[in-house]
Structure 1
Amino acid sequence: MFSSASSLSRLTDVFRSGRGGTDEAWSREAERALLLVREFEAQGSGWFWQTDRTGKLVYLSEKVARLFDHPDRPALGSELTDLFQIDSENPDSARTLGFHLNSRTAFANYSVHAIGQAGERWWSISGRPVTDAMGRFLGFAGNGSDLSEQRRSEAEITRLALFDSLTGLANRQRMRLSLDQILSDQHSYRTTALLLLDLDRFKAVNDTLGHQSGDALLNQVAQRLSRSVGDDGLVGRLGGDEFQVILPNEGNRDRISTLARRIIDSLSQPYSVSGSAITIGCSIGAAIAPDDGSDSETLIRNADLALYAAKGDGRGVHRFYLPEMLAGAQSRKQLEDDLREALRADQFHVVYQPVVSTEAAQIVGFEALLRWDHPKRGMISPVEFIPIAEDCGLIESIGEWVLRTACRDAANWPGNVRMAVNVSPIQFANPALPALVTNVLASTGLAPARLELEITESVFVEDSDAAEHRFRTLKALGVRLALDDFGTGYSSLGYLKKAPFDKIKIDQSFVRGAAVPGNRNAAIIRAIVMLADTLGMETTAEGLEVQDEIDLIRDLGCSHIQGYVYGKPMRAEEAARRLKEGGPLQPSGYRISRSPRVRMLRWARLSIGGEAGDVRIRNISRTGAMVDGIEFPDGAEGTDVLIELLENRMFPAKLRWAKDGRAGLQFEASFDLAQLSAQSAKRRIESEG
């Protein structure tokens, strides 16, 4: 076994022959040296080692030797290379210990670990050859220090730098490094899939239950996501409620779709957080390298565009990147820049759509509608630019401009005519809204009772106490409140209980087709009217375009009508002229209702004979739809297909015609268009999450 005293004695004997001087002087000097050595070894992390000319250890500090000593193989007498192995990953350790010992050259600060114990304990060692007065080689002498704690600290620093502190998943930096490494492998032409995930309705959890509950929820999401992906890929959290999955060597869209649906289904199951049952959702965008990008930046951008499309298609779905999405993003960015210029250059104007008394067929008010006449693109639909204005922070400035313009125009009209102005959820969430309304009424001279603020159900996504306080403050000003698009969202009856509305506006999705035989919309309208009458509220039926709908709405008891049947939106001058003429309005347009068609532009999955792809729906009715983005071979008419009209719900149809990349589909069964409106309303509500 190891003996500190005996080894030090042998160390003295080895070097004594190489020194001059008397034995007594040498003994005194050696004792002082040994005392200092023992003190250093006992108090610090450093230690010493010595070999003879044959390379065998003649001295090794006791605290290190104890780790290597075995009854049948003591540390002393072993060669240094029998005990230590150099760190091959250290760039400063290009040469092995054996090389230096054999070539008798010095080395410094080499990282080593015990042979067979890599990663358990690390040391840094240095050594130099020793010669006597005659220049004869006597062996090596050196020192070492324990690097284990330093290595652990470095490992922890690395972990903190590359892993998310909340969930333990890889963080944004590690995910980017991993993706860079995979894509930069020039010797591999294998595909790699990238999934970007965004949680739906997570913001509402933070706002209602607090950030501590939000963090607990994120931890559960991370666990479910990791289980869903398993060993197939690397899972990371980018920050907030954004996650990412890298799937190396994966390019099969069917397998990726299966995984995406599994993830969405798993993350959409109820959670239990702080005693509350919580349900959220998940949207996923996917891009596949190298087709969708051969570098990280391009691939991430395209996956993000696909995620944007998934959110736009109702959330809770996954979408693959398509080249058209990039063009759309570039168009949105250009539109955002143009919007800023439009506000500055006074390119907006307001038109007014009549609100007509059902019984007297006379105008009793107008709804202010924003229009944008682009200098190059012409008229741009609000459906296209309003969401962009909300995303880029312009909606409040634009909304204030519309409110001031509408109230100024209405102040010049007869005193019994009301003015309805839409308030976006972002505007409503601003505590300064009541002060703005007060200022506008004072500056324009419009009586508060003549202003009607139209608010959608999505305002209730914010904190209910704040919303109720805003309602009370606005009502105290004397203005009227109308609930817009009633019936398309969730918990509408609960909203009526909370907010002091003066009017309910019945969404056009319930009005259109209500006069078609067999349509259930008439029964829904009747129920809404009865509810409003009981609560002392007026009702406006929106979107009337056919004359036979007027009689139906009158019979169902609606107090007001709004729609093209009584005139399209008009400029302020024309509105003033129509008011001056007075008298009942004459309806226009079709006399008899037909199956309504809804124009749209949204992506959907189309399956033919087990093969699936993405198409765009151009318009849709109860009986069929027109799609584009797919080429059918000649003679394909009559082919059975499946099309995704609602999220994750495929509907059977037949191909009736195909030409120039467009096709007409006939549904096997009648499709209820109201489901699309409900889906759109759900989108708007969840977008606040």
Structure 2
Amino acid sequence: MNQFAARRDFAVGLAHPDNDGPHPMDLYDQAASLVPMGAWSCDLASERLTWTNGVFDIFGLSTDRAPERRETVELFDEESRERLDRKRTKAIESCSGFTLDAGIVRPDGAKRWIRITASTRGSHGRVDTLFGMKQDITEDRLRWEALRAQAECDPLTGVANRVRFQRFLDRTEAEAPGGHLGTLILFDIDNFKRLNDQWGHAAGDACLVAFGQRLRQAFPQAGLVSRIGGDEFAVLLPQSESPTKAEAAVQALMGTLLRPVPWNGEFLPLNVSVGIAVTSAETEPDPQQMYVTADEALYNAKATGSTVLAKARTIGRPARLRALQG
């Protein structure tokens, strides 16, 4: 269905083919069959879509009915839909093209990743048509995500490593799906060197593994649980209703987190210092600022022997620190 449009576009601008070689249209059909892809166009005045069969296959839709843009856009996940809208609008305004990797959920429930390549066509500085190619890149995306997860995982504890935490600090992506990022908690195991010296490094590793597992279980809502140093961990949480509730939640979990760790018939003592930085719902969180604030609270906690809550400061103002009652 509508294959002629893609075949026609492919032929535009071709040099004279060798009469002894394959016809350009046959070459296109052969190449298109090697990968899950197809051509598309959209008339901007009517929003009418024209797809080749490959695009119908990617979206899991029947060729018996012409595609409707509104229904198609609903198949995109929310983030991809917003990015598509921004890129599409910019391309139309600037008479340019764009490339977008987007996530979709097909009518049969299958989740797929597609790469959209788009260009514009029109006259006198006015765009009347968007057209391009769509390619299913799901397998490549899954391989890439698996490799990234492996590279960003701490091999000892199984939680994320410092590389992953650095992506949060660099603002390369949001870390708290479903909620405003509001709380950063830093944990530092106390007297870890003495524990290693007294019980051996294997015992120290057992404590790190146990503590990492406990953090994941204690904070299932966390956007990220990461080991950011030898004996230091970070937890990123969505916005709490109030700093008081964030404080209470951490305090309530301390007993579970600090249970002695069984090892070779012994029970290893586990103590931590905690620094917390909390932002308000009205404040756009600055990851670097949150980290500096929580780290300052952690330093204070280690000095005073108490867990410390720090309300994330604004630039130029000192953090307000308050000890949690043990």
Q: TM-score, normalised by structure 1?
A: 0.31
Contact 1:287 1:306 in 2 (8 A): no
Equivalence for 2:23: 32
Task: Using the TM superposition, give the Cα deviation of residue 47 of structure 1 relative to its aligned residue in structure 2, in angstroms.
Answer: 3.3
Tell me if 1:302 matches 2:296: yes
Rg comparison, structure with higher value: 1
Contact 1:107 1:126 in 2 (8 A): yes
Unaligned runs of 5+ in 1: 20-24, 131-138, 183-187, 312-316, 322-604, 606-611, 614-647, 649-689
Equivalence for 1:148: 138
Task: Using the TM superposition, give the Cα deviation of residue 127 of structure 1 relative to its aligned residue in structure 2, in angstroms.
Answer: 5.0
Task: Using the TM superposition, give the Cα deviation of residue 37 of structure 1 relative to its aligned residue in structure 2, in angstroms.
Answer: 1.5
Contact 1:57 1:77 in 2 (8 A): no
Q: Distance in 1 between matches of 2:51 and 2:183?
A: 59
Tell me if 1:269 matches 2:263: no
Equivalence for 2:272: 283
Task: Using the TM superposition, give the Cα deviation of residue 299 of structure 1 relative to its aligned residue in structure 2, in angstroms.
Answer: 1.5
Length, aligned pairs only: 273
Q: Distance in 1 between matches of 2:100 and 2:249?
A: 50
Contact 2:118 2:130 in 1 (8 A): no
For residues 215 and 78 of structure 1, do their structure 2 counterparts lie closer, same or farther at Cα, with a shift above 3 Å needed? farther
Contact 1:126 1:142 in 2 (8 A): yes
For residues 226 and 199 of structure 1, do their structure 2 counterparts lie closer, same or farther at Cα, with a shift above 3 Å needed? same
Equivalence for 1:94: 87
For residues 199 and 84 of structure 1, do their structure 2 counterparts lie closer, same or farther at Cα, with a shift above 3 Å needed? same
Equivalence for 2:314: none
Equivalence for 1:260: 251
Task: Using the TM superposition, give the Cα deviation of residue 269 of structure 1 relative to its aligned residue in structure 2, in angstroms.
Answer: 2.4
Tell me if 1:223 matches 2:213: yes
| 1:273-352 to 2 correspondences below 5 Å | 273=263, 275-286=264-275, 295-296=289-290, 298-311=292-305, 318=307
Task: Using the TM superposition, give the Cα deviation of residue 121 of structure 1 relative to its aligned residue in structure 2, in angstroms.
Answer: 2.2
Q: Distance in 2 between matches of 1:110 and 1:239?
A: 36
Contact 2:99 2:118 in 1 (8 A): yes
Q: Distance in 1 between matches of 2:147 and 2:82?
A: 18
Q: Distance in 2 between matches of 1:290 and 1:106?
A: 40
Tell me if 1:41 matches 2:32: yes
1:132-178, Cα deviation, whole Å (9 max, x unpaired)? xxxxxxx9864333333454455456656766454324744256468
**Aligned partner of 1:125 among 110, 117, 126:** 117
Q: Distance in 1 between matches of 2:64 and 2:170?
A: 46
1:87-109, Cα deviation, whole Å (9 max, x unpaired)? 34548952269x96xx9x77443
Tell me if 1:81 matches 2:69: yes
1:100-131, Cα deviation, whole Å (9 max, x unpaired)? 6xx9x77443445556579632222335659x
SS in 1 for 2:207: helix
Contact 1:236 1:244 in 2 (8 A): yes
For residues 308 and 149 of structure 1, do their structure 2 counterparts lie closer, same or farther at Cα, with a shift above 3 Å needed? same
Task: Using the TM superposition, give the Cα deviation of residue 199 of structure 1 relative to its aligned residue in structure 2, in angstroms.
Answer: 1.9
| 1:88-487 to 2 correspondences below 5 Å | 88-90=81-83, 93-95=86-88, 107-114=97-104, 120-126=112-118, 142-152=132-142, 155-156=145-146, 159=149, 164=154, 166-169=157-160, 171=162, 172-173=165-166, 176=169, 195-203=185-193, 206=196, 214-231=204-221, 235-245=225-235, 248-249=239-240, 250-252=242-244, 256=247, 259-260=250-251, 262-263=253-254, 265-273=255-263, 275-286=264-275, 295-296=289-290, 298-311=292-305, 318=307
Contact 1:176 1:296 in 2 (8 A): no
For residues 120 and 90 of structure 1, do their structure 2 counterparts lie closer, same or farther at Cα, with a shift above 3 Å needed? same
Q: Distance in 1 between matches of 2:52 and 2:249?
A: 65
Structure 2 counterpart of 1:221, which letter?
A: F
Structure 2 counterpart of 1:109, which letter?
A: T
Equivalence for 1:57: 50
Equivalence for 2:318: none
SS in 2 for 1:168: coil
Task: Using the TM superposition, give the Cα deviation of residue 221 of structure 1 relative to its aligned residue in structure 2, in angstroms.
Answer: 1.0
For residues 281 and 111 of structure 1, do their structure 2 counterparts lie closer, same or farther at Cα, with a shift above 3 Å needed? closer
SS in 1 for 2:87: coil
Structure 2 counterpart of 1:144, which letter?
A: K
Task: Using the TM superposition, give the Cα deviation of residue 281 of structure 1 relative to its aligned residue in structure 2, in angstroms.
Answer: 1.6
Structure 1 counterpart of 2:269, which letter?
A: I
1:416-457, Cα deviation, whole Å (9 max, x unpaired)? xxxxxxxxxxxxxxxxxxxxxxxxxxxxxxxxxxxxxxxxxx
Bigger relative contact order (CA 8 A; separation at least 6): 2
SS in 2 for 1:269: coil
Q: Distance in 1 between matches of 2:234 and 2:21?
A: 65
